[in-house]
Amino acid sequence: MPSSSPDLLTLVTENVRAVRARIDGAARGAGRDPSDVRLLVATKTQPPEAVRAVVAAGVELVGENRVQELVAKAPAIADLVAAGDVAVHMIGNLQRNKVNQVLATASAVQSVDSLAIAEALSSRCVRDTLTIDVMVQVNVSGEASKSGVEPDDAPGLAREVAALPGVRLTGFMTIGARSRDDDEVRAGFARLREVRDVVVRAGDPRTRDARELSMGMSGDLELAVAEGATIVRVGTAVLGSRPAP
């Protein structure tokens, strides 16, 4: 596999450093340990060279939105995944008939928003004696365009998902409100934290470690970190505007 071009690597390395500085600053400002917040780079519509540059820049977590793209890029990054240099998370809508393809490359699915999809993951994992990490995606903004369960329904779905064999519930994911009002965006992130706290505090052994909060993107990561994000998902701030799909 050819290494990424020096220019791409230089640019990506600088951008990763800048994003990491934003995360660290927001964490310190909130009295949090910056090492408690991981950076996931969203590589949708980016070529495999960009993914390799992201990993060469020290990022250990990347996310793909579409199964087709995940499958297309998988061979180009298989060596990095096998070496443990990077883990791939599915962060987009997933259909039941695509579950097999996702399990071949991804170590986690952050976008579980129905029991049906969790059951499909579970039965494949049981068959292949695998375990997949999953998060329940919650729609905290109420925007119709966004996937995810309603916040009120999230604890119930989380309990049902966590009870399935072959899947391990690690936490919750959301996409923040598309709004210029920071208070509104931040309230959504706080809502996800409340959902997580309700579930973890219930004390069920299967859900009490579901502490991850995957929230915050290029435009709102500081607000998410202030509300407790443990994973922020950043695309454009690292890789620039996306090539047309």
Site string for ligand PLP, 88-127 (x = CB under 6 A): ---xx-----------------------------------
Binding status of residue 50 toward ligand PLP by CB under 6 A: no
Beta carbon nearer to ligand PLP, 135 or 166: 135
Maximum distance among all alpha carbons in the chain? 50
Beta carbon nearer to ligand PLP, 210 or 239: 239
Among 38, 44, 168, 211, binds ligand PLP (CB under 6 A): 44
Residue type, 164: L
Beta carbon nearer to ligand PLP, 166 or 230: 230
Name residues contacting ligand PLP, limited to 124-163 (CB under 6 A): none
213-217 long-range contacts (CB < 8 A, ≥24 apart) are 213/171, 213/172, 213/173, 213/189, 214/40, 214/91, 214/110, 214/135, 214/171, 214/172, 214/173, 214/174, 215/173, 215/174, 215/175, 215/176, 215/189, 216/176, 216/189, 217/42, 217/175, 217/176
Beta carbon nearer to ligand PLP, 42 or 210: 42
Phi, psi of 224 (to 5 degrees): -65, -45
**# of chain residues touching ligand PLP (CB under 6 A):** 14
Among 106, 112, 175, 229, binds ligand PLP (CB under 6 A): 175
**Cα–Cα distance measured from residue 115 to residue 218, given in angstroms and rounded to the nearest whole number:** 30
Beta carbon nearer to ligand PLP, 88 or 175: 175
Q: Please compute, for residue 140, the number of CA atoms within 13 A of its CA located in the half-sphere on the CB side.
A: 28
Q: Which two tokens stand for residue 16?
A: 């990763």
Q: Which listed range, 14-22, 25-33, 160-168, 232-240, lies at the site for ligand PLP (CB under 6 A)?
A: 232-240
Euclidean distance between the first and the last CA atom of the chain, given in angstroms as a whole number: 23
Shortest Cβ 169–ligand PLP spacing (Å): 18
Beta carbon nearer to ligand PLP, 52 or 89: 89
* Residues near ligand PLP (CB under 6 A): 42, 44, 65, 91-92, 175, 217-219, 233-237
